Amino acid sequence: MYQVEASKALLKPRLWARGSARLRVPRNVVMLGMVSLLTDISSEMVATVLPMYLIFSLGASPLVFGAIDGTYRGAAAVVQVLSGFSSDRWRRHKEVAGLGYGLSAIGKVALVAAGNTIGGIGAIVAVDRIGKGIRTAPRDALISLSSAKDKLATSFGVHRAMDSIGAMLGPLIAFAILFLAPARFDAVFVVSTIFAVLGLAVLILNVEGKPRRAPREGTPPRVRAALGLLKDRSFAPLLAAAAGLSIASVSDALIYVGLQRTIDFEPAIFPLLYVMTAISFMALAIPAGQLADRVGKVPVLLAGHALLFIVYAVLLLTSVGYLLLIVCLLALGGYFAATEGVMTALAGAILPEKLQASGIGILITVVSLGRLLSSVAFGGLWFALGLQEAVLIFAGALFVAMVVATPLLLRAQRTPLHG
């Protein structure tokens, strides 16, 4: 069921893109999308089979990785800011991103060579996380620097859509290999390594490291300039708005758990919730970006967050049919499509060229800290008051956050930086 649904969905955005003559994004953005697509195939292949591999070959409980993961996600936040700033400072976005992609590729090779001890696999998972932390900010800066300012949201939409295609293909390829060659996890790791190497090759061979908006002269930015972004007249309001909105947004993982409690559906359907949301995200990422470039990023951002009210409303209902469940998941996918990429595009539009990666690194870190806080708060409220009360409080908080964020975002958008 999972496979069929997903493969149908994969065709959708591609056909759509072909049919639209007006979708013109820079070649560099498509190439970076290709890098992410291939890398995501590689990492999702491993992520899909790793738990099975752990139990099957090592008899280990997958819970051993819970702690490792928490630790390294914290480390990744710090790494993001550092790698963002370093790539601005050295003007080597492509090389720093390449280091991140390279680390993940090395991790896959190591899995083939030495993935038969718990400690070894733990170290490989950690290296993969750090690689992801390193590459995100410089990669997003490259996307931004490759695009004209009035096409930024479309560019990020195209990249995010390609990225999620990879995330869908990875599990399918892994399952296909295990279906053909049962229990041959080594074959999955080998093919995953190949995709990682191909992704790195596209980056090295086909991605332009100095795209058209990239700074070529002037003094390299200092740490003080990057820190100055925190109190900058237009970037600081953007950060504040992003922080507020992310704190008031319930994470999708908790939404799925909430839906499971609200609706008494078969546990086998649970993975389909993710698939439905991913399909919706994939299909809507490009249109949302185009809309943001046409009517403005701020209205699309706000409309995206407003979609969360539909999700919250469904969580408040006591009986939900499958139709309403699908509407809820489409809304959730639309929320993702209209927010993360568009927010990064907005940052790309107002940040000075020489501080693109630093600013985006800071933004990603602020948003992920906001999400962490949101999850802790939502879990706490659920425990203390109950699910419905927690959802009501978050709906109220989201409304307040949107009211406060609107003038902040408009101010950010109005005054581009000249740093």
Partner 1 sequence: MGSRNAKIWVGLVGACIVFGVGYVAIAALGPDETTTDARPRAGAVLARTDLMVRAVDPKNPRLNGNVFVVDDGKVERGSRDLACERVYYAGGEGICMALGSSGVDYSATIFDSSFQAQHEIGLTGLPSRARVSADGRYGAMTVFVSGDSYQTSPTAFSTRTTIVEMKTGKQLGQLEQFGVTKDGKPFDAVDFNFWGVTFAKDPNRFYATLGTGGDHYLVEGDVPARSLRVLRDGVECPSLSPDNTQIAYKSRLGDGERWRLHVLDVATLEDHPVAESKSIDDQVEWLDDDTLAYSDETNVYTVPADGSGEAKLLLRDATSPVRLQAPTRG
Footprint of partner 1 (CB under 8 A): 44, 47-48, 50-52, 55-69, 73, 125, 164, 167, 171, 175, 177-184, 186-187, 190-191, 194, 197-198, 201, 205-206, 251-254, 256-258, 264, 267-268, 270-271, 274-275, 277-278, 336, 378-379, 382-383, 386-387
With beta carbons less than 8 A apart as the criterion, state whether 45 and 188 touch: yes
Burial 280-301 (b: 16+ CB within 10 A, else e): bbbbbbbbbbbbbbeebbbbbb
The least distance separating partner 1 from the CB of residue 270, rounded to whole angstroms, comes to 7
Largest CA distance in the chain: 62
Please identify, using beta-carbon distances, which residue of 100 and 237 lies nearer to partner 1: 100
Nearer to partner 1, 126 or 145 (CB): 126
Residue 230: CB minimum distance to partner 1, A: 27
- Nearest approach, Cβ of 362 to partner 1 (angstroms)? 21
Least gap, CB of 209 to partner 1 (angstroms): 12
- Report in angstroms how near the CB of residue 183 gets to partner 1 at its nearest: 5
**DSSP code, position 210:** S
Question: With respect to partner 1, which residue has the nearer C-beta, 175 or 399?
Answer: 175
How far apart are CB 299 and partner 1 at their closest, in Å? Answer: 24
DSSP 3-state of 49:
helix
CA-wise closest residue to 371 among 257, 247, 238, 258: 247
In the complex, least distance from residue 182 CB atom to partner 1, rounded to whole angstroms: 4
Closer CB to partner 1, 5 or 95, in the complex: 5
Dihedral sign from CA coordinates of 214, 220, 226, 231: negative
Question: Rounded CA gap, 208 and 29, in Å?
Answer: 10
Comparison of 31 and 225: residue with beta carbon closer to partner 1: 31
Evaluated on CA atoms 3, 37, 348, 223, the torsion sign reads positive
**CB 250, CB 391: distance < 8 Å:** yes
User: Closer CB to partner 1, residue 198 or residue 398?
Assistant: 198
Neighbours of 182 (CB within 10 A): 7
Q: Please give the Cα distance from 140 to 155 (Å, whole number).
A: 10
Residue 141 CB neighbours (<10 A): 32
